[in-house]
Amino acid sequence: MVPVRGRLSGAPSVMSPRDTLLADIVALSPSSLERWNRCRREYRSRDLLGLPESNPGPPADMGNLVHSLLRMIHEQGTCRDDAFVTDVLARHGVDGVGPVSGFIARHRVRCPADASRSRHELELARFHRAPAPMFMATGRLDAVWIHDGLLDVRDYKTGGSFFERVADDPRARLQAWLAAPIAARNALGVRVRYEHLAAEIDDDPDPFEPDADELDTIGEELRMVVAQIRAEPTFAGAADTAVCARCRYRGVCPDSATPAEPAWPTPPDEC
């Protein structure tokens, strides 16, 4: 027997599928964090394995259009200019009385009038180095306004409402943590506000204005999530009817409480 003292430099290592699931630096985004909190197995299928969805949900065409229009309206003019808004909508084949114009109108009453600066679709990334584990948080903020000593982060919502307080939504907490360094550099506070633009939702949830201590707490929460991800042994599914019924991987998940056939095309039998 020859004692093995180590691996030669450059020699291939043998790693199990579990070992190769995670990169050295785990990435977190508002969406991936939501999936992790909802179901470990869904998180693995989407965020770690990158698998095509077996049962895709409805297309997000309406939401994407509204986000895109709001960006254009604010980058090229203002939502308070009726003629300009009508022109932008018309250029995108949207008439002035349909649901899309309703979304824009409901945004208008929430839009900060006295903002000195704004950015739309702002990409942010914040790296946590120490203490371990390292992670990289990223996000794309729908809109950021500067007014009244605040860096006001807006998240446009065209669907349902699930939180009474923005502070209770882990996605918003991550957004606040992402925006915090910019706010600090400009001596501003951070606020995250959800704009629920659907006609059937009357009130927005209470905005979230974390102070420095709470932002530190969020950083620690995120670090603990990443530690859990790194330590996760099985990535077992939630096996919860309410969760599984909407899952986009329910057709391939052995843990699903609402198993389904995959919706993807299959070859004809004669093949």
Q: Give the footprint of other proteins on this chain (CB under 8 A).
A: 16-17, 20-25, 27-29, 41, 44-45, 48-52, 54, 123-129, 134, 136, 138-140, 181, 249, 251-254, 262, 264-268, 271
Q: How far is the CB of 237 from other proteins (least distance, A)?
A: 10
Q: Which residues, other chains included, contact 112 with Cβ-Cβ below 8 Å and sequence gap of 6+? A: 145, 147, 152
Q: Which is nearer to other proteins, 13 or 116 (by Cβ)?
A: 13
The DSSP symbol for 234 reads S
Q: How far is the CB of 249 from other proteins (least distance, A)?
A: 6
Q: How far is the CB of 15 from other proteins (least distance, A)?
A: 8
Q: How far is the CB of 252 from other proteins (least distance, A)?
A: 4
- Residue indicated by tokens 């291939």: 12
Q: How far is the CB of 140 from other proteins (least distance, A)?
A: 6
User: Angle 82-91/99-108 helices, nearest 10 degrees?
Assistant: 150
Report long-range pairs for 15-18 (Cβ below 8 Å, ≥24 apart).
Answer: none
Q: Which is nearer to other proteins, 139 or 170 (by Cβ)?
A: 139
Q: Which is nearer to other proteins, 54 or 158 (by Cβ)?
A: 54
Tokens matching residue 228: 């859990």
Q: Which is nearer to other proteins, 120 or 128 (by Cβ)?
A: 128
The answer to whether 72 and 88 have CB atoms below 8 angstroms apart is yes
Q: Which is nearer to other proteins, 32 or 104 (by Cβ)?
A: 32
- Residue indicated by tokens 């950083």: 219
Backbone angles phi and psi of 227, in degrees to 5: -60, -40
